[in-house]
Amino acid sequence: MQVYLLYGGKSAEHEISLSTAFQITQAIYYQYYSVIPIYITRTGTWLQGQTITEPAKFADNLRLEEADKKVQAINEHENSKGIKFLPNGFNVEDSVVFPVLHGPNGEDGTVQGLLETLNIPYVGNSVLASAIGNDKIMSKLLFKQAGIPVVPFEAIDAQAWKHDSEKVIARCEGELLYPMYVKPASLGSGIGVTQATDVVELKNAINDAFLLGSRVIVERGIAAREIEIGLLGNEEIATSVPGEILSFDDVYDRKLAMKEDHEARIPVELDDELLTKLVDFSKRAFAVIDGSGLARCDFFISANQDIYLNEITTMPGFYKNAMYPRLWEAVGLSYSDLIEELLQLVLKKNQANN
């Protein structure tokens, strides 16, 4: 079976996607699959590299550069060559697309919609689930509707900010308390997040967030632990052990390079009642967005054990030392077996739909 590995992209999380793709090439079971790399450059050009039948030597082997005529072997040079690829070039028969794209034009439903239109099976969530999960404003509104607690927040659109920023600030200060956290509505959890402790910082943070998107969310800051749970499955949803992020700065560094061993406690010991609630909220959130395949739910737990769902991520960081694979490794599911499980879930879903 051929696995089209779709990675890179135009978003701020390009490097994360590239590293994820590289690590998948290290771990996939080549006795069952060959891998066709499809690299989306930062400018949006799609390039197809030569079929991979063994682990790539370096991550930069997957950073394809356009070739004039022929495709050079993926391991010949640090920057391998690729030929331009059009989405209708996917071979539908005996193939699966594995998109490891993050942020806009990746995990927001756009690529998923393209693949649906072409009737191509792919790893991960559907158009609806991807779009909702990627939009922190819409997901929080739906979670509130479903009775899943979220941190108090205010949604800001670009036009409201442009025409009457003082009114927006007054609304934030009237409904929320400092410190506030400001972030673009549609980027990864660690991208573009700024703490604001006063009105000057709040204005600056909102301006900065609008450089990364057209909608911004402002949340009330709370003193809390961050607990994460992985989900895996289609109809029958399995949940991982819980893990705790011990330092926010350990998720991504300023240059968006992955930390090889960011500080976390996996599994984290929680009392039975609290863990039961987290698992319940995780499965309910996954059902609300009509999720399938995989997701990671990130929670805040206050000192008095109040639970808030921070977000659901439909394509969580998938490099080997990211939280999602580590949560499953603690259950006994290796990185290679996790990849295999996701591919099998695609096949089962495709069979059920045909």
| Residue-wise pLDDT tens digits, 260-284 | 445 789 999 999 999 999 999 999 9
pLDDT tens by residue, 122-145? 999 999 999 999 999 999 999 999
Residue 7 above 50 pLDDT? yes
pLDDT tens by residue, 32-76? 999 999 999 999 999 999 999 999 888 888 999 887 555 444 444
- CATH fold for the domain made of 2-122: Rossmann fold (3.40.50)
CATH for 134-149+223-353 is: 3.30.470.20
Annotated binding site for Mg(2+): 298, 311
Tell me how long the chain is.
Answer: 354
- Beta pairing class for 95-99 and 2-8: parallel
Q: Among 140, 203, 217, 205, which Cα is nearest to 169's?
A: 203
Summarize the chain as % helix, strand, coil (round to 5). 35, 25, 40
User: Which of helix, strand or coil describes residue 160?
Assistant: helix
What global pTM score does this model have?
A: 0.89
Q: What residue spans define the domains of the chain?
A: 2-122, 134-149+223-353, 153-220
Annotated binding site: 298, 311
Q: Was domain 153-220 assigned CATH 3.30.1490.20?
A: yes
Give the whole-angstrom CA distance, residue 267 versus residue 324: 12
pLDDT value of position 68? 59
